[in-house]
Amino acid sequence: MRKLLALILFITTTSVCSAQLFTREKVQNNQNLDKEVLSWGYYFGGNSLDYKIDYNDNKGDIFNTKTVGFNVGLVGDVRINDYINIRLEPGLIIAARTLNYPENYFEGIPEDDLNSSDFIREIKSTYVYIPLLLRLSTKRLNNFKPFITFGLATSLNLSSNEKNPEDNSGGEFRSTKSTQFYDIGFGIDFYLYWFKFTPSIRGVFALNDELVRDTDPNSPWTGNINSLKTRGLFINLTFR
């Protein structure tokens, strides 16, 4: 699904760009829109998140199952010059992941003490995501302008269970409430008659370990994990 969404976005933007690049110069829409020092907008889109897991011992990989989530938020933009902007994009990120544990992680535990749910941990996350981004743009070409963005983000996971006294032995997978991310991406501004439309693709990579470990240091769910960090892809549609 993530590859399909990225392919559709790439084909759409490439087609529109090619149509404008190889035709004569057109009348520019909203010529003064980018002259504002401060501007606002909103976005919505989708996401696909998983975990990058580093292990203590080579006991096999914990398999990640990803689903498509939802993003929505606001955009605050500060214009530095025609090519540089600083952006704050606070939003709400809703995502879900499933960890599937191999059977050898439970060696030494009697089969009668295990059931099928012990091998699976479904993790639903709701992040308040706040990135501060530097945006570098090219010169405007007719009615579109490509750009790249990069920066740092902080987040608050409202579904973390960090303070829950129960751990995986009681069926509760716990992660840290606060996570910091590195955020990098690219997109294209399309200047339409009434507004500016901006599709973008962003990669996000957690900088800190998010795992809250079980009380038992030999827990089959957390004992072999050295670090667990979110990584993923955002596809956003911004309107201004």
pLDDT digits (tens, 9 = 90+) for 34-76: 888 999 999 999 999 999 999 999 888 999 988 899 999 999 9
Structural domains of the chain ordered from first start: 2-26+38-239 (2.40.160.20)
In which band, very low, low, confident or very high, does the pLDDT at 24 lie, cut at 50, 70 and 90?
A: low
Highest mean pLDDT among 17-31, 32-46, 79-93: 79-93
Better pLDDT: 8 or 141? 141
Torsions phi, psi for 174 (to 5 deg): -120, 145
Indicate the pTM of the whole model. Answer: 0.84
Separation of alpha carbons 53 and 228, rounded Å: 5
Q: Can you read off the two tokens belonging to residue 49?
A: 């998140």
Highest mean pLDDT among 28-32, 57-61, 151-155: 151-155
pLDDT digits (tens, 9 = 90+) for 86-123: 999 999 999 999 999 999 999 888 888 889 899 999 99
The answer on pLDDT for 137 being more than 60 is: yes
pLDDT digits (tens, 9 = 90+) for 168-195: 988 999 999 999 999 999 999 999 988 8
Residue 98: Cβ within 10 Å count? 15
Separation of alpha carbons 27 and 24, rounded Å: 10
